[in-house]
Structure 1
């Protein structure tokens, strides 16, 4: 009888010990399944960037095991470098970064990557490929598509004639160069088309684009097309033209196609066209989680584009319930 009681106590002790181990093990496993992701955003002064942040946060909220830390680079390379250094010091599980510019952020991205932290470069590339994945639109393709539309507006291939003013985005960023190169790869084939202005940096800002457009119109009596590297700058150019009653003489082309912004301006007749530049916010969260969970991902993920004109702007706005049927 004593043997039986001792045996029972022994078995009970073993079961309690096993239970403790199993409980500890489940917590340990759970800890490995929870992730802290740092997100270094270049700025929040542009509507496209705000949508970018919103979509990243919305996707992260769908995953209870994800904590997303968002930092605003405030259009400052040193601030963005400091934000990246914070993430590295905290040893976050992954970093998302949309660089203000390529050269200034390459070193700290490489530092994070070399420290073993998966790094996802979004929208704007850096100067090398020492990162886990790049996610963004094909800006050269978007530039080519915008160029083809400009040629179409000016008479068609082989017959196009007219003048163009181009307003650059941030000239130290890769999307601006790609959007310029793609556009002029197509347009430069047309002998009848002339670029009126030198490369001028609108830094993606509406107010700066307004001034560039106003100066161009003061210098030139005839401008047929203003091509801006994003919709806020195209709209700034439109406002400058509207102020001197020249908006009906000029076609305005932008890029981004946020429904409540660029698409609405097309629908209202203020822009002639915009081209979709999808934000990588939601995709970045999904891709980072796939990688952290041991799944294979591509080195580059290219997001789709679309041309929006008066022919399809209304349908997009109806889909987003921004106008009534």
Structure 2
């Protein structure tokens, strides 16, 4: 769950496609006669319902992933003739985000989609909206209390770490590497998302009998990635593998690797940026794979906000209510499957 900085997306392609599928299979079909707990697949929720206004707030776009979050949300809302989309100015200032969302609460919007700068610090705001009768779709960086949101949707940070660790473990085992030195360049260490990614990575490596070696945290920026990678490479004269949590950050990481003239190890990225995928396809750097954390979640958040505000559910589920939690899967992109994912990549 992208708690601090995230990345951008190619004009919402994945988001719109992903949620087109979601909206095409939403319906409140009644249980089958005889009491069977079944629901018919239906597409009626893609049809116009009662008009609703969806408020939206996210951090300022300091790099590609966040830019894609905002673009995907707006593009998705534009698919619905029954939705008025009201976005407040993005900001990295928590007090400003609180004040901006307060204006949406005062306007009594039908639902709110909020990607908070900091989930903990905006929990009270989510609770305020909920107490005012405005359902909140908490996007990515989770609030401290489930009382502050109707539904949370985000990526699988632990799963990202597992995917990265599994790929590295498989590659090193296949090469017969004993006692490998495996580095890690994390994001911001005090964020729960970074902690979850690192735990998944360590857990996956341990299943191969491996452990994390030199580890440093950056800040999800290319500049921070370059600085931290330079330090890590200087301190580690030998590496067999390296996981970098974030592909935007990875621009700087790759620059530092190239400047150091290093190439003896394989690198795995994180998030699924288009530039990372192009490098994987070209196969001319140490970057051989990346694990996804898709900004399509913003499109899905808007689709879910619409359903909740209109008192509709997801028709391919038996339950008549939108779930309270949805976690996206993390895929591993390599040279073998990069052509499938490349059209969906976001630009760093």
Residue 74 (1) aligns with residue 97 (2): no
- Which residue does 1:176 correspond to in 2? 194
1:91 pairs with 108, 127, 135, which one? 108
Larger relative contact order, structure 1 or 2 (CA cutoff 8 Å, min sep 6): 2
- TM-score by length of structure 2 reads 0.75
Per the TM alignment, residue 103 of structure 1 is displaced from its structure 2 partner at its CA by 1.7
**Aligned residues of 2:56 and 2:114 also touching (Cα < 8 A):** yes
Give SS of 1:162's match.
coil
Give SS of 2:87's match.
strand
Inter-partner Cα distance in structure 2 for 1:72 and 1:226:
37
**Aligned residues of 1:228 and 1:253 also touching (Cα < 8 A):** yes
Inter-partner Cα distance in structure 1 for 2:94 and 2:176:
44
Q: How does 1:178-217 map to 2 (within 5 A)?
A: 178-197=196-215, 199-200=216-217, 202-217=218-233
Q: Tell which deviates more after alignment, 127-136 or 97-106.
A: 97-106
Structure in which a larger fraction of residues adopt helix: 1
- TM-score by length of structure 1 reads 0.80
- Which residue does 1:307 correspond to in 2? 332
Inter-partner Cα distance in structure 2 for 1:43 and 1:188:
37
**Aligned residues of 1:155 and 1:161 also touching (Cα < 8 A):** no
Inter-partner Cα distance in structure 2 for 1:170 and 1:136:
18
Give SS of 1:104's match.
coil
Q: 1:178 to 1:71 in 2, by over 3 A?
A: farther
Measured against aligned partners, the alpha-carbon deviations of 1:54-100 in whole angstroms (never above 9, x if no partner) come to: 21111111112222222354333222222222222222111111122
Give SS of 1:43's match.
coil
Computed over aligned residues only, the root mean square deviation of the Cα atoms, in angstroms, reads: 2.4
Structure having the higher Rg? 1
1:136 pairs with 154, 163, 166, which one? 154
Unaligned runs of 5+ in 2: 1-48, 313-320
Inter-partner Cα distance in structure 2 for 1:321 and 1:236:
18
Unaligned runs of 5+ in 1: 1-31
Q: State the 4+ residue runs in structure 1 displaced beyond 4 angstroms.
A: 156-160, 189-192, 319-322
Count residues with an aligned counterpart.
Answer: 286
Per the TM alignment, residue 157 of structure 1 is displaced from its structure 2 partner at its CA by 11
Residue 274 (1) aligns with residue 290 (2): yes
